[in-house]
Amino acid sequence: KKVAILISGGGSNMMTLVNSMTGDHPARPCLVLSNNADAGGLKKAVEAGVATAVVDHRPFKGDRQAFEAELVKPILESGADIVCLAGFMRVLTSGFVSQFQGRMLNIHPSLLPKYTGLHTHARALEAGDAEHGCSVHEVTAVLDEGPLLGQAKVPVLAGDTPDVLAARVLEQEHKLYPAVLRRYAANDRTPVLLG
Ligand code: GRF
């Protein structure tokens, strides 16, 4: 199976996925694609020997369809069977998502269905939650929803700030996403539940 990974920033999740696809793993990375030419993950991908591409969303202003018509090209050219969103910070329309129905994953830093959208760690702290975490789900037309493929839980500790909590969650993201991808690439959709 060939995997395209979409990023917008540092790409730590992308790198854990790339590094996990070795040996008898049924998948290999075929593309790292970013909407941000300055994404730190692009350099990491090049160093890892993975093909990269950039489709900057800014020239398209609010025209999501026009941006996505460009964004889809390198993914199709790469021959990707699976698309992994990993710190990809653009909302995708149902038109784009429908091209990858049942073969596009996303990692989100909350225990979905709680806290879809942004600032999830601050919201969990504000709510006084005793636990928080991250989720991997199949991408559907509704933002941060879709069939759950994995979840990892972390405790919320006294004195946690959003950054401290985010770091604790990110550590679990790096365990969860590769575990989910390995099963998913083997057509096993049994949820991975950690912590
Ligand atoms: C992470 O906080 C993750 O929860 C979200 O994007 C952020 C950056 O991830 N999906 P990465 O380091 O770019 O993979």
How close is the Cα of 143 to the center of ligand 1, in Å? 16
Looking from the CA of residue 87, the nearest atom of ligand 1 is 6
Please name the residues in contact with 104: beta carbons below 8 A apart, sequence gap of 6 or more. 82, 83, 84, 85, 97, 138, 139
Nearest CA to ligand 1 atom 4: 109
- Please compute the mean of the pLDDT values over residues 91-110 and round it to a whole number: 96
pLDDT band per the 50, 70, 90 thresholds, residue 111: very high
How close is the Cα of 155 to the center of ligand 1, in Å? 19
Encoding tokens for residue 25? 């793993």
At position 167, the amino acid (one-letter code) is A
Please name the residues in contact with 173: beta carbons below 8 A apart, sequence gap of 6 or more. 12, 13, 16, 107, 109, 134, 152
User: Is 119 part of the annotated catalytic residue set?
Assistant: no
Q: Which residues are annotated as a binding site?
A: 11-13, 64, 106
Please name the residues in contact with 155: beta carbons below 8 A apart, sequence gap of 6 or more. 130, 131
pLDDT band per the 50, 70, 90 thresholds, residue 7: very high
How close is the Cα of 26 to the center of ligand 1, in Å? 24
Q: What is the pLDDT of residues 62-95, one digit of tens each?
A: 899 999 999 999 999 999 999 999 999 999 999 9
Question: pLDDT averaged over the chain?
Answer: 97
Q: What is the pLDDT of residues 146-191, one digit of tens each?
A: 999 999 999 999 999 999 999 999 999 999 999 999 999 999 999 9
CA 109, CA 152: separation in Å to the nearest integer? Answer: 10
Percent over 70 (pLDDT), the chain: 100
How close is the Cα of 89 to the center of ligand 1, in Å? 9
Nearest CA to ligand 1 atom 6: 87
Contacts 24+ apart (CB under 8 A), 115-123: 116/143, 116/144, 116/145, 117/143, 117/144, 119/162, 121/162, 121/163, 121/165, 121/166, 121/169, 122/162
Pocket flag, ligand 1, residue 10 (CB < 6 Å): yes
Encoding tokens for residue 129? 């939650």
Q: Which is catalytic among the residues 57, 108, 132, 137?
A: 108
Nearest CA to ligand 1 atom 8: 87
Contacts 24+ apart (CB under 8 A), 15-18: 15/41, 15/44, 15/45, 15/48, 16/173, 16/174, 16/177, 16/178, 17/84, 17/86, 17/177, 17/178, 17/181, 18/45, 18/48, 18/50
